[in-house]
């Protein structure tokens, strides 16, 4: 198969497997999604979903969050890891949203990425899942699977995102990035598949004998 043929098969098969793609992080609006995505750095979505109800019970708007002491935020989000940095970022971005954006989450990459604790991946998730703008956030699952399926050179996350955007129609980015995440969690896992085990890996590379070593991001 050519790279384009592999991409077409992946697109078709994932649509069959995951016709519905619910957003994994529980949230109520753009602000609570932004906070949840920020908390998900080096933490599982499952753990974040256990923590955010306690945080959002205390504060689910920038106005209320900005009034919470950083120490209190940190205590609540401690199970997510990196709590000192994340608490400081949550407090800081809440104040900036009030001061610069009228208490609303902005809808541009530049404005989102200017917020404390918000990198390109977090901004991409918010742009796609909160606002419906085309984006292709590359998390650890997408980075791994794109290499196993030879859809990218895998040099880094930036290159992977660029390669995937070239391969797939813009109208499908938001759907596909979630579908790949679901498949990566359920079938082509980091330890459960090495590029030779899961259905898509076997279909795309039936003669592959050696495991695929994922390059570090």
Which residues carry out catalysis? 121, 139
CB 38 within 8 A of CB 118: yes
Nearest-angstrom CA–CA distance, 96 and 111: 10
Which residues does 216 contact at the CB level (< 8 Å), separation at least 6? none
d(CA 92, CA 117): 9
Contact assessment for residue 150 and residue 160, using Cβ atoms and an 8 Å cutoff: no
Assess contact for 31 and 61: CB atoms under 8 A: yes
Q: How many Å is the maximal CA-CA distance in the chain?
A: 59
Q: How many residues does the chain have?
A: 217
Spatial separation of the C-alpha atoms in residues 13 and 198, rounded to whole Å: 13
Q: Is 206 exposed, middle or buried (0-12, 13-18, 19+ CB in 10 A)?
A: exposed
């Amino acid at each position: 198969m050519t790279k384009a043929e592999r991409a077409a098969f992946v697109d078709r098969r994932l649509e069959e497997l995951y016709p519905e793609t619910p957003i994994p992080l529980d949230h109520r609006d753009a602000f609570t999604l932004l906070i949840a995505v920020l908390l998900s750095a080096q933490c599982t979505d499952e753990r974040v979903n256990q923590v955010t109800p306690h945080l959002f019970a205390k504060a689910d708007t920038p106005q209320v969050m900005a009034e919470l002491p950083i120490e209190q935020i940190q205590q609540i989000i401690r199970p997510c890891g990196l709590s000192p940095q994340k608490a400081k970022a949550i407090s800081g971005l809440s104040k900036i949203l009030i001061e610069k954006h009228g208490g609303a989450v902005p809808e541009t990459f530049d404005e989102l990425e200017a917020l404390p604790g918000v990198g390109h991946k977090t901004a991409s998730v918010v742009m796609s899942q909160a606002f419906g703008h085309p984006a292709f956030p590359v998390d650890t699952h997408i980075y791994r699977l794109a290499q196993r399926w030879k859809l990218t050179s895998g040099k880094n996350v930036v290159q992977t995102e660029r390669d995937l955007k070239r391969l797939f129609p813009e109208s499908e980015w938001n759907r596909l990035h979630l579908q790949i995440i679901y498949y990566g969690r359920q079938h082509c896992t980091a330890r459960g598949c090495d590029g030779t085990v899961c259905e898509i890996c076997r279909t795309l590379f039936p003669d592959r004998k050696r495991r695929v070593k994922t390059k570090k991001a």
